[in-house]
Structure 1
Amino acid sequence: MLAGVDLSGRRILVTGVSAGLGVETARALAAHGAQVVGAARDLAKAEAATEVVRAAAANGGGLELIELDLASLASVRAAADALVAKGEPFDVVIANAGVMAAPFGHTTDGFETQFGTNHLGHFVFINRIASLLRPGGRVVSLASAGHRFANVDLDDPNFTRGDYDPWVAYGRSKTANILFAVEFDRRHRARGVRAAAVHPGGIQTELSRHLEDGAIEAMIAQINADLAAEGKPPFELKTIPQGAATSVWAAVVGEADEIGGRYCEDCHVATNVTDGPLSVASEGVRSYALDPDNARALWAKSEEMVGEVF
């Protein structure tokens, strides 16, 4: 994706640089000359994990780490305020960090863990540093095919009614990540700042740490049984570099007008927008995840939840 691309002089923020996709995304960008600001909850872990980023840095590229706990709005606001006070602009912000299928719990501020971490933490952080995005800048919001599990529930975002399902909660948070990109893009495109959501693909990373042993294998077996019934080849997990490719493509390669307000997968914009049948391994995005009215409603609900208007 970055063959022949010179990112010298570009400043890019990536959240979740203590493992997996975040580290690889930062490595690829720094290797092509970008100055990367990596955000992580555990700085000691991130320092060790990003040695490969510093080793790969070339053409003036480099890495700076900042502390950011997306499950704490106090941490989010402190990190954002420090960046704004510093005043150095960004060309791209990649909202990569997240949790998946976590047991029922709450963030520091009392939000359901996955919605609070994956969506609300990034919602506050990115909005607070939005003024630092240069004209021509971009926001890349990491979503997932898992958004198909559920639309957002603006009446009960914290599962105060009904039984908690970790995959439904994950689906809600990933749909929110897409809707955030849709509305952020609408609000900022006039000044040349665009936003897109990306699905990196099925990848074995620390994101699956909450799953029981054998859960991934069982899911792949079911997917392959469904694909075989359709006469399609078996599903294969992506490597971490393959997964990071779509983030990098949306951040610096794809045309701004092509990716703005859209859902991207496999280094292109998804063209299959449907509420019809979709297997986990198939391409496509649910229409509710790109619905502008849904996006505006989520934005308003998010502002209400965090007590801040953007």
Structure 2
Amino acid sequence: MTNVFGAKSTTDEVLAGVNLKGKRILVTGASAGLGVETSRALVAHGADVVGAVRDLQKGEAATEEVRKAAKSSGGSFQLIELDLADLASVRAAADKLNAKGESFDVIIANAGVMATPFGKTRDGFETQFGTNHLGHFVFVNRIAKLLKDGGRLVNLSSAGHRYSDVNLDDPNFEKTEYNPFEAYGRSKTANILFSVGFDKRYKGRGVRATAVHPGGIYTELGRHMSEEQFAGLLENVNRQRREAGLPDFEFKTIPQGSATSVWAAVVAPADEVGAHYCEDCHVASIVEPSDNVLAGGVYRYAVDPERAEALWRKSEEMVGESF
């Protein structure tokens, strides 16, 4: 790599000099936060972006700047309806895309929820695992044939994967007490393992999959947390960082948070990021849960190929569909 980017790099810095004309990219969760900025940055460099959103009316209002950027650059932007918490909606959206038959260079699975109260998706799955993982698992696999040879899948994960490995024996918290952050951790670990499994299946035709941690950013993602919960979480993180001799946690701006997504999608060499977890615009090192990982890294269980295969089989069993 000729350019070295880091935690403070923005989407515009990462994409400086990059021409994306002719590139077709799908971004889920395009109606808020990182999804809006990721879409804006891509269309500003000429890409044709399809944004998948749960609420089309909200999506139209939230993406006005994206459309302006597309008009200025010669790119394009359109929205499709996709509710990841409803597999009927997921399958309908995939069917519509497959019927059109227009291929994609990149899929960025950006949408997600965090630390929700206990609940279930329309299909009876625990909300976070069902939305963050299973919804994307079905959607991406159903449209995988639309990914061009040499294309990429970018799954948004999180440092929150450190809260928990996946629990394949009790994915819906039917036997264990529900904890919103443990549930979030399970879903974010699943996002990484899905990348590992998808990469294994499609790298034969040059399609590579990666997972990214955008960093800590003030977005709608944290809307289910109370101010007290948020303050307590931040204080706990900073206490651990101080004990480790590290500075207090620093939040990113939305353009900084979106930078790793676009870097992994269209800038980094495919073989560099394939089957890996990236943060701050670089591939993260593998660390053990006992290590001090406050400065970064991915837990080994989240990139374990055998664990990825076990999750794939369990996911197929849960959604009643084989890929």
Under a length normalisation based on structure 2, what TM-score does the superposition of the two structures give?
A: 0.94
Is residue 92–residue 139 contact of structure 1 (8 Å, CA) maintained in 2? Answer: yes
CA distance in 2, matches of 1:51, 1:204: 21
For 2:97, give the aligned amino acid. Answer: L
Please point out which of 302, 307, 310 is paired with 1:294.
Answer: 307
Cα deviations across residues 114-142 of structure 1 (Å, max 9, x unaligned)?
A: 00000000000000000000011000000
Alignment partners' CA distance in 2, 1:231 and 1:149: 22
Equivalent position to 2:297, from 268, 279, 284: 284
Q: Do the aligned partners of 1:146 and 1:174 also contact (CA within 8 Å) in 2?
A: yes
Partner of 2:8: none
In structure 2, give the amino acid aligned to 1:298: L
Counterpart secondary structure, 1:26: helix
- What secondary structure does 1:27 align onto? helix
Q: How does 1:55-134 map to 2 (within 5 A)?
A: 55-57=68-70, 58-134=72-148
Q: 1:38 aligns with which of 25, 47, 51?
A: 51
For 1:188 and 1:14, locate their aligned partners in 2 and report how far apart those are by CA, in whole Å. 20
Mapped partners of 2:231, 2:41: distance in 1: 29
C-alpha distance in 2, partners of 1:272/1:302?
25
Q: How far off its partner does 1:199 sit? A: 0.3
Number of aligned positions between the proteins: 309
Residue of structure 1 equivalent to 2:228: 214
Deviations 1:62-92 (A, max 9, x none): 1010000000000000000000000000000
How far apart, CA to CA, are the structure 1 residues paired with 2:177 and 2:17? Answer: 51
Alignment-derived partner of residue 5 in structure 1:
18
Number of the residue aligned with 1:183: 197
Among all aligned residue pairs of Structure 1 and Structure 2, give the percentage whose two residues are the same amino acid: 68
Q: Which residue is equivalent to 2:10? A: none
- Given that 1:101 and 1:169 are in contact with CA atoms closer than 8 Å, whether structure 2 keeps it comes out as yes
Determine the structure 1 residue equivalent to 2:170. Answer: 156
> What's the TM-score once normalised by structure 1's chain length?
0.98
Shift of 1:220: 2.0
Deviation at 1:249, TM superposition (A): 0.4
Residue number among 149, 157, 163 corresponding to 1:135 in the alignment = 149
* CA deviation profile, 1:35-81 (whole Å, cap 9, x unmatched): 00000001111101100101112432110100000000000000000
1:155-180 CA distances to partner (integer Å, 9 max, x unpaired)?
11001002100000000000000000
1:205-284 correspondence runs (5 A) = 205-279=219-293, 281-284=294-297
What do you get for the CA RMSD once the two structures are aligned?
A: 1.0
CA distance in 2, matches of 1:273, 1:186: 22
How far residue 233 of structure 1 moved from its aligned partner, in angstroms, is 1.6
In structure 2, C-alpha distance between the alignment counterparts of 1:85 and 1:272, rounded to whole Å: 40
Judge which range, 150-159 or 53-62, deviates more: 53-62
Amino acid at match of 1:218: G
Q: 1:288, 1:222 → 2: CA distance?
A: 24
Q: Which has the higher contact order (CA 8 A, sep 6+)?
A: 2
> Alignment partner of 2:173: what SS?
coil
Question: Which amino acid is 1:139 matched to?
Answer: L
Contact 1:278 1:284 in 2 (8 A): no
Match of 2:185 in 1: 171
Shift of 1:267: 0.2
Structure 1 unaligned residues grouped into runs of 5+: none
For 1:284 and 1:45, the matched residues in 2 are separated by 35
